[in-house]
Structure 1
């Protein structure tokens, strides 16, 4: 029962807390896209547009560099604003929250005998089939901090101001730094560009052995729970994080 509970909790945490403390092998991101895209490769020139608060932001420049690397894999070329066909706007946020998980409690009332005698009372007493019942002695609620990371990428035509593409990506977990989450958000948001209008899906990006984004392509999980096969997308340039 304890093993089954551990597996169930692990599945839950992998699905909902994708960046929690190294317990997963991938990052799972929720993506939603709205599209009126009709551009060709010849018109895929762009410049980043910034809000007043973003004008002199080093953080903004860092995220723009990540986005530029990913956009380049879809034939986008960054040019001066005056000659750009599109403007690309980035908006992002991070917020903290708490999650509570109910965990079983196991104790040994006879610790002086060690593991050889088992855990008779702490494990629920003598069972009906001639062995000790392996149930927990009780349950306790444990609370953990989680952080929700969000990104929106908006594309408009520079001349007309018409919105042609908007995609939002979000994931959550124990990672308290937005800069560490941003490569996964950007890769997930722009994977398989352009998505159909009204697309909602989950994208999984594997971690490499050092905990960073691997070179494997993002995998989109369909509504039937099965993975779809996207075109290979190179990983963005790594961002040094202290």
Structure 2
């Protein structure tokens, strides 16, 4: 019975540890990406608030790195680019109350010689299935905050503002620091670029320690 209880605790601990190291994002992309695009130059289209935000500039650098990796080039100020990129993001938190079952040891201080007839103490629990009795399942309550993190990125033609690529990344978790999660959301946004249009995907990335 002790072995069973230990195995349950180990399994739960492993699950919790594993969940804490993965960033899961639901990505939905819509695009009308041309088969060929000779000019892949771009600029960022910023709102006034974004232009004055150091936080936004940090996230813009993440998107810039991904675009450069995919063969796009940021156009110099003196030239007219073919595309314009726009970035929008948000984070919202809500309180969560979760009730879950937990296996507990009903006899945490039991000793072989304190329980049952003397022959049980002699042979020990490995020979008696009723040595400690069955485990007890208790209902426990966990309260925490769950954060909904969203990122939207679009690429549009400069000439007529027609959107060619639009992706939305939604990630939920207990980490409310958007700056920590954003690198993984940006990478998820451009995974398999341009991807299948209108097909939701789940992207999982291991969080670096």
Q: TM-score, normalised by structure 1?
A: 0.68
For 2:177, the equivalent position in structure 1 comes to 177
Alignment of 1:50-129 (within 5 A): 50-80=46-76, 83-99=80-96, 100-104=98-102, 106=104, 111=109, 116-117=111-112
Structure 1's consecutive aligned runs of 4 or more residues displaced over 6 angstroms after TM superposition are none
SS of the equivalent of 1:180 reads helix
For 1:195, the equivalent position in structure 2 comes to 195
Q: TM-score, normalised by structure 2?
A: 0.77
For 1:149, the equivalent position in structure 2 comes to 149
2:43 to 47, 56, 73: 47
User: Taking structure 1 as reference, are residues 103 and 145 closer, same or farther at Cα in structure 2, changes over 3 Å only?
Assistant: farther
Root-mean-square deviation over aligned CA pairs: 2.9
Q: Write out per-residue CA displacement over residues 20-65 of structure 1, whole angstroms, 9 at most, x where no aligned residue.
A: xxx33x3221111001111635321111111232121111111110
Unaligned runs of 5+ in 1: 121-127, 212-242
SS of the equivalent of 1:75 reads coil
Q: Write out per-residue CA displacement over residues 107-163 of structure 1, whole angstroms, 9 at most, x where no aligned residue.
A: 65674x5xx459x9xxxxxxx953434432521111122212110101111111101
Of the structure 1 ranges 78-87 and 160-169, higher mean CA displacement relative to structure 2 is found in 78-87
For 2:165, the equivalent position in structure 1 comes to 165
The structure with the largest alpha-carbon Rg is 2
Which structure has greater helix proportion?
A: 2
Cα deviation for residue 8 of structure 1 reads 6.7
Q: Write out per-residue CA displacement over residues 162-204 of structure 1, whole angstroms, 9 at most, x where no aligned residue.
A: 0111011121212111011100000000011111211211111
User: Taking structure 1 as reference, are residues 133 and 178 closer, same or farther at Cα in structure 2, changes over 3 Å only?
Assistant: same
Structure number with the bigger relative contact order (C-alpha 8 A, sep ≥ 6) is 2
User: Whole-Å Cα distance in 2 between the matches of residues 190 and 110 of structure 1?
Assistant: 52
User: Taking structure 1 as reference, are residues 5 and 103 closer, same or farther at Cα in structure 2, changes over 3 Å only?
Assistant: farther
User: Whole-Å Cα distance in 2 between the matches of residues 47 and 4 of structure 1?
Assistant: 54
User: Whole-Å Cα distance in 1 between the matches of residues 35 and 154 of structure 2?
Assistant: 15
User: Whole-Å Cα distance in 2 between the matches of residues 191 and 10 of structure 1?
Assistant: 28
Q: Is the 8 A contact 2:23 2:206 kept in 1?
A: yes
Count of aligned positions? 190
For 2:119, the equivalent position in structure 1 comes to none
Q: Is the 8 A contact 1:88 1:153 kept in 2?
A: yes
User: Taking structure 1 as reference, are residues 13 and 149 closer, same or farther at Cα in structure 2, changes over 3 Å only?
Assistant: farther
SS of the equivalent of 2:192 reads coil
User: Taking structure 1 as reference, are residues 41 and 133 closer, same or farther at Cα in structure 2, changes over 3 Å only?
Assistant: farther
